[in-house]
Structure 1
Amino acid sequence: MKVEPTVYAAWKTVQIARHPERPQFLDYVGELFSEFDPLHGDRLYGDDGAMIGGLARFDGQPVMVMGQHKGRSTRERLQHNFGMCNPEGYRKSLRLLEMAEHYGLPVFTFIDTMGAYPGVGAEERGQAEAIARNLAALSRLKVPVIATVIGEGGSGGALAIGVADRVIMLSHSIYSVISPEGCAAILWKTNEKAAQASEAMAITADRLYGMGIIEHVIDEGEGAHLQPLVVMERLHQVLRDSLDELSLMESEARCQARYQRLMRFGSSQLQNSSSNS
């Protein structure tokens, strides 16, 4: 595919975000958290391997952590459905969100998905309804919620665990309503324009930070797969600072601030008031 210089940077970021050796959710859990105890099932249909979550400790503090996991080998990818959740995955995460609220546990979510699974069975079991319930639940949680995009953040499948008080992105991650290939197929009727679409969509961390959509960008150099521990150490510090800041706020004030954060999206008053990391 011939890529014009003006669109190369964004397309290169897309490729790095999808790198097969890029650290995944369970890698971050193992490095940033301790005593992780995964919880299974949605209590309605079954367990979804694409969404993993459970209780853990962050610097000794009990928290709830959840995220999409893609897997690396063919067997793992099939087991985790390539990180694309079915409704039971989102209903499982909803159950964990409600548990976190009941016990007053801060919530950490990690986003890495092409999008929610688009299969017929998923639609029959209420994919859209499951995502909508997650959005509503996250919007009204009284506990701190911090979301981190560690790879791909695609469409409602990502947003279902992305409504938060603070949203963090790794510098080579992407966050968008549709994939560049999907956008190109709609606008130009060919995915050969994916590189051009990736630039036009403003899906990279620096662009989203500049628009005030996210609060922090974690510098990962040439890619988190090349220096994972350094990147995780940087992320740990931002997570620590964000949680400390949010914990000082009263729950009602924090919830109202989250609402106002969402209401600024798409308005002329959308401004970036956070600091780059």
Structure 2
Amino acid sequence: MKNKSSQKKAWKTVQIARHPERPQFLDYANALFEDFDILHGDRLYGDDDAMVGGLARFEGQPVMVVGQHRGRSTRERLKYNFGMCNPEGYRKSQRLLDLAERFNLPVFTFIDTMGAYPGVGAEERGQAEAIATSLAQLSGLKVPVISTVIGEGGSGGALGIGVADRVIMLSHSIYSVISPEGCASILWKTADKAEQASEALALTADKLKKMGIVEYVIDEGEGAHLNTERVVEQLRDVLNTTLAELKLMDVNERCEARYQRLMKFGSDNPGLAS
């Protein structure tokens, strides 16, 4: 009975994370940051609207902001490719993070994607390589990096901008190696068991915090679409506190802590690096 209740709770979280009225990246960017100047293009192939980023100010300080935007109307969703980035999106984020490193700008990333775009063209243009390069780049950045999961955090598409000193999740967001439907299709050969898979994946913020995958959970109440202003202010406070904490750390100390944070994932004792 308890397992059934837990499944329903996890599945409800998945549904809220996908709610059509849920605030998206540009909603948070415009509410949290001033002078947000969006930059375009990867300087190699083209521009990917699913990955949005640029220079901004946070509490008066220059920063770099990067996030995945999904769109709401059918026209917007097609424009932003439902938040599923092509290689150009990850290479654009790499270009922006290079700028952040050069000018010593803290980095804020916002995750909201079902996953990277799996089309043939994306694979031909090096989707896996682009994500791998992004992981390596983020692992070695000397500036503070803070990631926030605001909706869905799906697979490598999310990790491409998710390697950070601190990871924050909204309480009704999800973060997982695969979607519940994809997991169910692999394990049970049917997407009908997505509810069961959502519990098995441990994709909710509270479980991920217990495992040490995320550091902070922002309470949304019944959902960020119902309490947007309150959620934004809570998030602003956590981002401000976290950035101040990271800026006090020595650069080498911060990089080593980020490395150790990654190495402990999957260990038997979440408090120790494997």
Normalised by the shorter chain, which TM-score bucket? over 0.9
1:245 aligned partner: 245
1:235 aligned partner: 235
- How far does the alpha carbon of each residue in 1:6-29 deviate from its partner, in whole angstroms, 9 at most, with x for none? 410000000000000000000001
**In 2: Cα distance, 1:185 partner to 1:44 partner:** 36
Q: Write the letter of the residue equivalent to 1:48.
A: D
Q: Secondary structure at the match of 2:110?
A: strand
1:133 aligned partner: 133
Tell me the TM-score normalised to structure 1 length: 0.96
**In 2: Cα distance, 1:118 partner to 1:4 partner:** 33
Aligned length: 270
**In 2: Cα distance, 1:28 partner to 1:265 partner:** 29
Q: CA shift at 1:147, angstroms?
A: 0.1
Show the 5 A alignment for 1:1-277.
Answer: 4-271=4-271
Q: Secondary structure at the match of 1:265?
A: coil
Q: CA shift at 1:81, angstroms?
A: 0.3
**In 2: Cα distance, 1:6 partner to 1:257 partner:** 33
Q: Secondary structure at the match of 1:212?
A: coil
**In 1: Cα distance, 2:32 partner to 2:190 partner:** 41
**In 2: Cα distance, 1:172 partner to 1:37 partner:** 29
Q: Write the letter of the residue equivalent to 1:86.
A: N
Q: CA shift at 1:250, angstroms?
A: 1.1
Q: Write the letter of the residue equivalent to 1:164.
A: A
Contact 1:42 1:88 in 2 (8 A): yes
- Pair 1:142–1:74, CA change in 2 (3 A): same
Q: Secondary structure at the match of 2:231?
A: helix
Q: CA shift at 1:4, angstroms?
A: 4.0
**In 2: Cα distance, 1:120 partner to 1:234 partner:** 41
Contact 1:211 1:271 in 2 (8 A): no
- How far does the alpha carbon of each residue in 1:106-147 deviate from its partner, in whole angstroms, 9 at most, with x for none? 000000000000000000000000000000000000000000
Q: Write the letter of the residue equivalent to 1:85.
A: C
**In 2: Cα distance, 1:37 partner to 1:213 partner:** 31
Q: Secondary structure at the match of 1:10?
A: helix
Q: Write the letter of the residue equivalent to 2:146.
A: I
Q: Which blocks of at least 5 consecutive residues in structure 2 are unaligned? A: none
Q: Secondary structure at the match of 1:241?
A: helix
- How far does the alpha carbon of each residue in 1:139-186 deviate from its partner, in whole angstroms, 9 at most, with x for none? 000000000000000000000000000000000000000000000000
Q: CA shift at 1:269, angstroms?
A: 2.7
CA RMSD of aligned residues (A): 1.0
- How far does the alpha carbon of each residue in 1:76-106 deviate from its partner, in whole angstroms, 9 at most, with x for none? 1000000000000000000001110000000
Q: CA shift at 1:267, angstroms?
A: 1.0
Q: CA shift at 1:233, angstroms?
A: 0.3
Q: CA shift at 1:5, angstroms?
A: 3.0
Tell me the TM-score normalised to structure 2 length: 0.97
Q: Secondary structure at the match of 2:21?
A: coil
Q: Which runs of 4+ in 1 moved over 6 A?
A: none
Q: Secondary structure at the match of 1:115?
A: coil
Q: Which blocks of at least 5 consecutive residues in structure 1 are unaligned? A: 273-277
Q: CA shift at 1:271, angstroms?
A: 3.0
1:275 aligned partner: none
Q: Write the letter of the residue equivalent to 2:247.
A: S
Q: Write the letter of the residue equivalent to 1:92.
A: K
Q: CA shift at 1:268, angstroms?
A: 2.0
